[in-house]
Structure 1
């Protein structure tokens, strides 16, 4: 299994309640039910207000490298990434467990 973690940081001046941010969150919330390769899916806003904290997180699991690539290439994932690219940056970690 591979754990896929993503931490998003909203760009300066971007608020969580902006329509484009809401659209991005909604797109990612739906991914768990749209991409068959996803075996575990959760995403949510961070509740920490520490200065080093990121704003939004995805925690997902897939069966292996091939499933991860299918997830990454899936049109629904690519559409969500395109939305987030307009208002945030992110870091990822993929590890086997």
Structure 2
């Protein structure tokens, strides 16, 4: 099993209540159910105000590396992640569990 973590940082001047950000978060909230490879799926806004904190997170898992590659290439994933490039940056970690 592989855990796929993604942390998003909104760009300077972008707020989470902007319509494009709300739509982006909704797209990620729905994504887990659209991709067969996804074994578990959680998303949410950060509740911490620490300076090092990111703004939004995805915590998911897939069966193996092949499943991760299929998930990343899935059209629903591509469609969900594309808008985020306009208003955020992100980091990822994929590790075996």
Deviations 1:52-81 (CA, angstroms, capped at 9, x unpaired): 000000000000001000100011110111
Structure 1 unaligned regions, length at least 5: none
Give the Cα separation in 2 of the matches to 1:16 and 1:78.
21
User: Any stretches of 5+ residues in structure 2 without a counterpart?
Assistant: none
Runs of 4+ in 1 over 6 A off after TM superposition: none
How far apart are 1:51 and its partner, in Å? 0.4
Q: Which runs of structure 2 are paired with 1:7-86 in the superposition (5 Å)?
A: 7-86=7-86
CA RMSD, Structure 1 to Structure 2 (Å) = 0.5
Taking the aligned partners of 2:54 and 2:84, their CA distance within structure 1 comes to 14
Query: How many pairs are equivalent?
Result: 97
SS at match of 1:7: strand
Q: TM-score, structure 1 length as denominator?
A: 0.98
> d(CA) in 1 for partners of 2:76 and 2:20?
16
